Amino acid sequence: MNRRVVITGLGVACPLGNSVSVLWDALQSQQSGVARLESLPAVGDRVVFGGECRDFTGEIDNFGPLEKELKKTIRKALKVMCRETMMAIACSQQAIEDARATSAGMDPERCGVVFGSDYMLSPPDDFVDGMLKCGAGEGKFAYSQWGSAGLSAMSPLWMLKFLPNMPGSHIAIFNDFRGPNNSLTMREISGILAIREAMQTIARGHADLMVAGATGTRIHSFKTLHALQTEQLASPECEPAEASRPFDAHRTGMVVGEGAGAIVLEELESARRRGAKIYGEILGAGSSSVADSQLRGNQRQALANAARVALGEAGIAPPDCGHINAHGLGTKAGDIAEAAAIGDVFGETASGVPTVGVKSYFGNLGAGSGVVELVASVRALETETLFGTRNFSTPDPECPLKVSGQNNLPVGGSFLKLSVTPQGQAAAVVVGRV
């Protein structure tokens, strides 16, 4: 049917704060969300700071304005939610409230959810009591006793906290959205892929309203160790607020973070009929996965493929794109690959299109990054003001892009959002004004 799809609601839970307005104020004033770790002990002398959601405590007040019965329902369900799921619910309820979708009289069969996440892991604390019952306290561990003694010491609802489909399930149940529902676990591209699927679901006529988003973390007992083993992390000697430096010649690596973002997508005429505020239109989206015979990801080719498809669907020639919201991880190789991909797509105009790296403010939020970063550019379109890339002061000749550390670049009437994983999976989406 190819119906037009627009954004009518925004929500975030990120290191800069628990609302879109707080996020935007921090971007405008170039406030950093990176500081010394508080929720996780420093990993030796290698990981000592990160972008923690310090204002998000998991209390019911973090979930925004809620009707009495919904507040009661969410509060009761918190015991079967891990932190990532809590952040997903919080930003989704913000977006739904922002879109006024709670009282819009929408047909519940025509409302759905697509939500992304990282792989979810429980912290080791969850296993301590069970392990002690199996002899771990005496310096040994009897595996044969785990089934009978160890598991009985764990919460019977333990697994419900860490299933990656829980965010989408909870959001649908809390809001009586009975339409299409899916969950994606594709690392950093999960959020943009969720937006793409939600957009396509509405465009082909299978729904009128969809919540799309993602939640993730790199600040976790196991995930932080995984990042340390497999990715280039920023030097622990950096000042925390200056550590995340996308495309800067003096960047030293990625900063770990946590967060979640969600948007409400709606068919254009449906949004107009109910008088919803329209932030922008999803004009096109693309994705690609490229790896060699040894399964080494080719980020450059994957990003170029995804960007070409997204711009092609949008009907926008690369030089006419208002700005690029880059993945901007802040690693040496990653930023070079992304800059090369942008050059492949934009050609000689690559150095003339304004480019921003939102991770400079809070690091890599895992699956949550893409949507939080997209929300930032949606607000930039709305206010006609493009924020600068924090900590950018020295251009890297190997990243010939138009990046500025100041709020002095034009925002344009559209933007291209890019996300990519270390495995060479990429996603892109183009958003423009209606």
CATH of segment(s) 5-121+162-432: 3.40.47.10
Q: How far apart are CA 45 and CA 58, in angstroms?
A: 29
Give CA separation, 334 vs 103, 231, 399, in Å.
44, 10, 10
pLDDT confidence of residue 103? 62
**Sign of the dihedral defined by the CA atoms of residues 377, 380, 381, 385, in that order:** negative
Q: How far apart are CA 330 and CA 243, in angstroms?
A: 9
The series of mean pLDDT values per 10 residues for the chain, 434 residues long, is 92 98 98 94 89 96 92 94 97 96 83 96 87 86 89 85 95 96 97 98 97 96 90 97 98 98 97 95 98 95 98 97 98 98 97 98 98 98 97 98 96 98 97 97
Query: What pTM was estimated for this model as a whole?
Result: 0.96
Q: How far apart are CA 425 and CA 190, in angstroms?
A: 10
pLDDT confidence of residue 1? 64
- DSSP 8-class letter at 387: P
Q: Who contacts 1 (Cβ-Cβ below 8 Å, separation ≥6)?
A: 203, 204, 205
pLDDT confidence of residue 124? 83
Pairing verdict, β 49-50 and 35-36:
antiparallel
List the chain domain ranges: 5-121+162-432, 124-160
Q: How far apart are CA 50 and CA 67, in angstroms?
A: 34
Place of tokens 């965010």: 167
Residue 228 near residue 171, CB atoms below 8 Å: no
Compute the C-alpha angle 323/275/433, nearest 5°.
15
